Amino acid sequence: MSAAPVQEPEPTLHPPRGNGWVAAGAGGAVGLLGGMIGLGGAEFRLPLLIGLFGFLALQAVILNKAMSLLVVATALPARLIAVPLDQITPHWPIIVNLLAGSLLGAYIGATWATRMASRTLYRVLAGLLILIAAALLATHLGQVEPAGLEGAAQVIAGVLAGAGIGVVAALMGVAGGELLIPTIVLLYGVDIKIAGSLSLAVSLPTMLVAFARYSQDKSFAVLQHNRHFLLAMAAGSITGTVAGGVLLGVIPDEVLVPLLAALLIISARKVWQHA
C-alpha cells in the first residue's frame, strides 16, 4: 500500500498578540523612526510583525506590503505639495526605465516568497534586513555620487537595478525607497529631493504587482482575518511617518542612522533565529 501524500499544513490565522492600541503604537513608533530619515518605516515594521506579534514569515510580509501601500498612497499628496508635479514630469524616462525592471522583479520576488520553505524565508528576510542596514549607512553617512553612465549603459543598469529592488521590496513587503532613492541619484544624477518623489512613482505600481501576486496565495487570507489589526497599525504608521517628517533633522544623521542600522541588525538576528 502506498503512503498517503504529505499535505502542506494550512497557515495559522490566529489573532496577533496584543490589541489594536498596541498595533497602533508599534506602527507609530516605526513610522516615527522612518519619518525622521525620510522613509516610511516598513523595514522596521517587518521584524515587529514576526517577533512581537507572532505572524509567520509570509503572513508578516503580506501584512507589511498592505501597510506599505497605504502609507505610500497617503504620502503621495503631501509629496506633491513639497515637490510639484511639474518638477517630476520631466523625469518620466527614469520612472519608465526603473519600472521596466521593478515590475518583473516584484512578480518574481513575490512568487519566490510564496514558494519558499518558511525556514528559508526567515533567513532570506534576515539577510535583507542587514542589506537595508548597509544601504542606510551608505546613503545617509556616505556620499552618493552620479556614476556618469549614459545611453544604453544607463538604460540597462536601470532595468537591472529596478529588477533587483523589485525583488527585495516584494520579499520584504516594503516600498523600496531606501534602495530606490540612492539608485536614482547614482544612475541619473537627480537631486535627492526629486529622487524621493520619483521613488514613490516607481514603488507604488511595483508594490501593486507584488500585492496582486500575493493575492493568489492562501496566506493572503491573513489580511481578512486581521483587518482591524491591519488598519490600526497602518493608521499608527501613517501618523508616525508624518510626525517623523516634522522632526526630520532634529536628531543628526550621524547619531540616528547608526542606531537605526544597529536596530535592523539586531532584528535580523532575531528573525534568523525564527528559522
- Which of 59, 19, 67, 73 lies closest to 41 in space, CA to CA? 67
Report the C-alpha gap between 105 and 93 in whole angstroms: 19
First-to-last alpha carbon distance for the chain, in angstroms, is 35
pLDDT of residue 10: 46
DSSP assignment of 201-256 equals HHHHHHHHHHHHHHTTSGGGHHHHHTHHHHHHHHHHHHHHHHHHHHTTTSS-HHHH
Report the C-alpha gap between 191 and 135 in whole angstroms: 18
DSSP assignment of 110-132 equals HHHHHHS-HHHHHHHHHHHHHHH
Largest separation between any pair of C-alpha atoms in the chain = 71
What pTM did the predictor assign?
0.89
Tens place of pLDDT per residue across the chain (275 aa): 444 444 444 455 555 666 789 999 999 999 998 888 878 889 999 999 999 999 999 999 999 999 999 998 888 887 777 788 888 999 999 999 999 999 999 999 999 999 999 999 999 999 999 999 999 998 888 777 888 889 999 999 999 999 999 999 999 999 998 899 999 999 999 988 899 889 999 999 999 999 999 999 999 999 999 999 999 999 999 999 888 888 877 888 889 999 999 999 999 999 999 86
